[in-house]
Amino acid sequence: MTATILLIAVFLVSPTLIIYLCKKIPILDKLGAGILCYGLGMLIGNIGVLPASANSVQMNFMTVTIPVALSLMLFSLDVRRWRFLAGKALLSCFLMILAALIATFIGYMIYRDTIEDAWKVAGMLVGIPVGTSANLNAIGLALKAPEHLLVLTNTADMIMCTPYFILMLTFAQRLLNLVLRPFCPPAQDGASALCVEDQVKDFDDYSGIFKPATLKSLAVASLISGVIFCIAGLAYTLAPKDFNMAALIISITTLGIIASFVPYIHNLKMTFQFGQYIMFVFCLVVGSLSNLEAIVSAMPSVIIFTGIVVYGCLVLHIIFAFIFRIDADTVIITNVAGIFSAPFVPVIASVLKNKDVILSGIITGIIGLALGNYLGIAFAYFLKNLSFLGMKP
């Protein structure tokens, strides 16, 4: 009993310490709290310290954290601000989604006979360039991906996306400016400029989260999230067994987006940060399920598949941008927002020395978070049922 309580405490407290260290140590902040939580989880899971009761604790955390975190992160979205997205930026966003689907399809056709449940991996991988790791894991949960497959895909995501982010921080702008148009600053009216100022905030800022007013807001948000979980549970119960988890995640996503239109819920303090913290708990738990020997033996195919999706999406996006005359900075910011989410947008905008792309990036991140689950789940089932085209799924 004591060991179980201690393990629960480790799962809940460790992400808090990692978030604190990321704020104090810039290089850790660049790596990201999610990657660090996942890495710590892998360490915990492979040094022989987990108690016999660990598996039940891990499964309970995995069942609860994703649904709760997803709705909390969606509460703070302002979907109505999509209308502020400039035409080229909106086009770039949807061309990136198209590129992601094409790249995933290519990777799936290569590895469908090599990787176990390749259609589930493909669905999860759609969540990388379209949404975030939150989408990847929500899609995996919806598709009932085995724990080891979820671990493999998260590991491959970390391996492939780290050098991608370094590329975006260093040479990407210079390379893309060789083939794409340079950025042309738009004329901003007062409303759009104000919108930019409203959106330029640190999504990773946890300061003040323990203030009584904030804790009260988070308690209310958690209660609403619990109600959404219960309603979505009804969809889970009514759906056919093969689709019940997909029904659960789609219901939570839809209800979370609907809730974001309610001003009271939308204005609850720090719901995104709290949801993100719960997502870090999930990353830690998933990492603790890993078996390094199994990962090493099964990893190459999943890594290459992930690389095809991440870098294939980028290459296709650049080709589409060249055809549709979209500038380099917009391509970079929409890609980063899709893969790494809104918190990374100001970082990349600073590297680009271009504050005008911040709004485009943040709204792209919102679109990805909102649409990622729908696209990933739908695309996975499309691949699973390729037999209707006379193809082996």
The predicted-structure confidence for 79-105, as pLDDT tens digits, reads as follows 666 665 567 888 998 999 999 999 999
- Per the domain annotation, does 310 fall within a domain? yes
pLDDT of 190 above 70:
no
- Per the domain annotation, does 195 fall within a domain? no
Domain count, the chain: 1
Packing angle of the helix pair 358-384, 54-75 (nearest 10 deg):
130
- Per the domain annotation, does 194 fall within a domain? no
- Per the domain annotation, does 110 fall within a domain? yes
pLDDT at 381: 93
Strand partners, 327: 181
- Per the domain annotation, does 301 fall within a domain? yes
What DSSP state is assigned to residue 181? B
- Give the separation between CA 123 and CA 149, rounded to whole angstroms: 12
pLDDT of 121 above 60:
yes
pLDDT at 339: 86
R_g of the chain computed on alpha carbons: 20
- Per the domain annotation, does 191 fall within a domain? no
- Give the separation between CA 171 and CA 10, rounded to whole angstroms: 39
Whole-number Cα distances in Å, 180 to 98, 174, 176, 328:
19, 10, 6, 5
- Residue 241, phi-psi category: left (phi > 0), alpha (psi -120 to 50), beta (remainder): alpha
- Per the domain annotation, does 50 fall within a domain? yes
Q: Which domain holds residue 221?
A: 2-184+200-389
Asked whether the beta carbons of 78 and 199 are under 8 A apart, the reply is: no
- What is the residue-averaged pLDDT of the chain? 84
Q: Which residue shows structure tokens 């001003």?
A: 263
- Give the separation between CA 354 and CA 384, rounded to whole angstroms: 42
- Per the domain annotation, does 327 fall within a domain? yes
Mean pLDDT of 227-237: 92
Q: Which residues lie below 8 Å from residue 328, measured CB to CB, with a gap of 6+?
A: 173, 176, 177, 180, 181, 182, 183, 321
Asked whether the beta carbons of 112 and 118 are under 8 A apart, the reply is: yes
pLDDT at 315: 96
